[in-house]
Amino acid sequence: MLLADIGGTNARFALLAGGSVGRVTHMAVRDHGSFREALDTYLGSLPEAGTISAAILAAAGVIGNGHCALTNNSWVIDAEELRAVYGFTNVRLLNDFEAVAWALSCLPAEKLLPLGGGLPIAGAPLAALGPGTGLGMAACIPHATGRLVLSSEGGHSTMAGSSSREDAVIALLRQRLGHVSAEHVLSGGGLENLHQALATLDDLALPGRRAAEITRAGIEGTCPTSRAAIDMFCAMLGTVAGNLALTLGAKGGIFIAGGILRHMPEYLARSQFRARFEDKGRLREYLEPIPVWLILDDDAAFVGLHALAEVEGIG
């Protein structure tokens, strides 16, 4: 069985055979003009490609009728086309964070960095969110016969400020973007938006920086604006994560995924993330016990895809 995790920046492929997931192959989206081009490259490297009978594909976008136009790149994935072209008898297409949510109850402790809170409550909902090229969200709700996974486009919900400084940043972004979503500040491009807006507010003429450069300069302390941007990023993420926990009653825990924060785990742990997660007025005591973890496994989605294959008997 073919497994894939397709994001805005990276595409990952692996095979599920004999009950285990093989080596995960990473590709840069920018190196391939389409999903099929990337898939052909991957399959061309496999001597066993002709024996693949089914596929489960996680994609960073809205899924509808077996079709996905990815939100943050030009790729399109269509299940019916893949069945016709590659002869797969079964193609399952799901949102990328839905795949992460399938993994939440299966991740080993050594792949998780605790970010405060107490013990999870058995049987309570779990939720995942994560800033990468976009901002993904999903939930896992245990029930008597297994678990129910809910996909979400919560990353596109409206972002609200929690201070006059954040209000000013959002006001600047609103002039340029119109609607300011959580993804507009909590993603790679969102970090760049924060850096640019803070420079404007402080009347600084700074060169544009990519998210990786902002992260590095902020952690190293070589650029005060970059430091301010990642500080605001972590604080806003805490606010959004707390909102998600309240909305879902996620007393089973909140899991932070996405590529950005795996490059700064210690910084996130020292940041205002946890304080802002709990800063919900009368509901502070509700949130204080809820555990939060940073997922350290870059390929956690494949744990979820494997779990989904077993639950649904896809093959």
pLDDT for position 16: 95
Task: Say how far apart CA 295 and CA 310 lie, in whole Å.
Answer: 22
pLDDT tier at 166, thresholds 50, 70, 90: very high
Residues 6+ apart with CB under 8 A from 161: 167, 168, 169, 170
DSSP-derived pairing of the beta strands 76-78 and 20-21:
unpaired
Task: Say how far apart CA 250 and CA 233 lie, in whole Å.
Answer: 22
Task: Say how far apart CA 236 and CA 249 lie, in whole Å.
Answer: 20
Average pLDDT, integer, range 120-141 = 95
User: What pLDDT digit, counting tens, does each position of 193-234 carry?
Assistant: 999 999 999 999 998 899 999 999 999 999 999 999 999 999
One-letter amino acid of 38: A
Tell me how far apart the 2 most distant CA atoms of the chain are, in Å: 60
pLDDT for position 148: 93
Task: Say how far apart CA 116 and CA 289 lie, in whole Å.
Answer: 8
Portion of the chain with pLDDT greater than 90, in percent: 88
Average pLDDT, integer, range 82-107 = 94
pLDDT for position 6: 95
Average pLDDT, integer, range 239-243 = 98
In this structure, are residues 248 and 154 in contact, taking their beta carbons and an 8 Å threshold?
A: no
Taking the model in full, what pTM does it have? Answer: 0.93
pLDDT tier at 315, thresholds 50, 70, 90: low
Cα 230 to chain centroid, rounded:
17
Mean predicted lDDT score pLDDT of the chain:
95
Provide the 10 A C-beta neighbour count for residue 48.
10
